[in-house]
Amino acid sequence: MKAQRPRVLKRIWIISILLLSVLIVTMALGISVGSTGSNIKEALFSLLGLEKADAMLETIIWRIRLPRVFLATLVGAALSLGGLVFQALLRNPLAEPYILGISSGSGIGAIIGILTGMSPFPGVSLAAFAGSMATLLLLLFMTSGKTMLKKNVLLLSGVMVNAFCAAFIMFLISITQDDRLHNIIFWLMGDLSMADLPQVWLLAAVVVPCTILIFCLSNTMNLFLMGKELAQTMGVNTKVVTAILLIATSIMVSATVAACGPIGFVGLVIPHLLRLIIGPDHRVLVPACMLGGGAYVVLCDILARTLPEQGEMPAGVITAMIGAPLFIILLKKSGS
């Protein structure tokens, strides 16, 4: 292991820098285009401080598009990293916060928050967080003690919890009568358009520490892939590590869900895609997923605001429409 370290470090650097440049390009693009058209040159000059655009464009670039791009990056990073962690822990490429019901759980929390008239922040965010933690605890409780079949039990329990949460959300929607219904439905589709900088900093303050923690545990995740018994013989306290990873991921995911609603399939597509390209080493995959996931959601958000002729689409619609077919293709290819 020790002898490999410099090589791994070098790989981490090369792949990170490559993906970082992809992310920077998509972010620059995200800041340059919007529903009022694209002005790449002016936007770039304004960003680099070379030349001031007119006041209106400055406002649009700095106070509408920039927070939105930052939010998309954070959301993408958190969700795809969340997917990666769940896939490693369950050793199943289908695992994702959505499939395990964590996102739906925080969705229930957020909708109850909206319905009871809480303020968007901190009321609804805390309600979303409470929802996801409740779902996670329920999952852990349901699956505790079933060591032999734990992997499948957890996954199946998650699917059932998710189905229950989806039904509960439908129930809440069906009893909602007034204009709050619009809020809920737009929120459920995953919407990034209301981003502002304080919200972005807040989300960053939650997400960044979690990603650092996960990166520190990335080598342990590698050991998990070789099997729990082997990991235990290598001196890993599997229970504690599993709990830490699950909780850190849930915090991260529920924070993003609270910020902009459930944005689906990011945690499924990005880790899978990157694993196919750069292999299964989590020390490389963790930073790669963050950067790649960020770029992916920024790109989806660009499509969301430029594709429709009138108004905007929620970004979640795009991530799902790209994500689901891509995932099926990947699955077929990797199977053959």
Partner 1 sequence: MLRCASQFVATAKKTVFLSVFFFLAGLFALHGQQPTARMVTDELGRKMTVPDDLKRVVSLAPSITEIIFALGKEDLLKGVSRFSDFPAAAEKLPSVGSYVHLDLEKIVALKPDLCIGIKDGNPIAVVRKLEHLGIPVYAVDPRDLNAVLETIIQLGHLLNANQKAQTIVSDMRTRIERVKSLVATSPNKPRVFFQIGVSPIVSAGTQTYIHELIVMAGGRNLAEGPVPYPRYSREQILGLSPDVMIITSMARGASFERVKKQWSQWPSMPAVRDNRILLLDSNLCDRPTPRLIDGLEQVAEAIHPDLYRKKP
Footprint on this chain of partner 1 (rule: CB under 8 A): 34-36, 56, 59-60, 63-65, 114, 117-120, 177-180, 182-183, 186, 191, 193-194, 196, 305, 310-312
Are 202 and 327 in contact by the 8 Å Cβ rule? The answer is no
113 vs 267, which CB is nearer to partner 1?
113
- Find the shortest distance in angstroms from Cβ 189 to partner 1: 10
**Least distance (Å) between residue 56 CB and partner 1:** 5
What residues pair up with 38 in beta bridges, in sequence order?
Answer: 33
Q: Which is nearer to partner 1, 154 or 304 (CB)?
A: 304
Closer residue to partner 1 (CB): 164 or 186: 186
Cα 294 versus chain centre, distance: 8
**Which residue pairs, CB below 8 angstroms and at least 24 apart, start in 17-26?**
19/287, 19/288, 19/291, 19/292, 19/295, 20/291, 22/291, 22/292, 22/295, 23/73, 23/291, 23/292, 23/294, 23/295, 23/298, 26/295, 26/298, 26/299, 26/302
Residue 37: strand pairing partners? 34
For the bound state, the minimum distance from the C-beta of residue 193 to partner 1, rounded and expressed in Å, comes to 7
Asked whether 51 and 45 are in contact (CB, 8 A), the reply is yes
Q: What is the per-residue DSSP string for 179-212?
A: THHHHHHHHHT---TT--HHHHHHHHHHHHHHHH
> In the bound complex, what is the minimum distance in angstroms from residue 59's beta carbon to partner 1?
5
Q: From the CB of 167, what's the least distance to partner 1, in Å? A: 18
Instruction: Select 187 or 224, whichever has its Cβ closest to partner 1.
Output: 187
Residue closer to partner 1 (CB basis): 88 or 302: 302
Q: For partner 1, give the closer residue by CB, 257 or 270.
A: 257
**34 beta partners:** 37
Bridge partners of 59, per DSSP, are: none
Give the nearer residue to partner 1 in terms of CB position, either 114 or 128: 114
- Note whether 225 and 274 are within 8 A (CB): no
Minimum CB separation of residue 150 from partner 1 in Å reads: 42
Nearest approach, Cβ of residue 261 and partner 1 (Å): 13
Which residues in 282-308 are b (16+ Cβ under 10 Å) and which e?
Answer: bbbbbbbbbbbbbbbbbbbbbbbbeee
3 or 56: whose CB is closer to partner 1?
A: 56
Element (H, E) at 37: strand 37-38
What three-state secondary structure class fits 267?
helix
Q: How far is the CB of 296 from partner 1 (least distance, A)?
A: 22
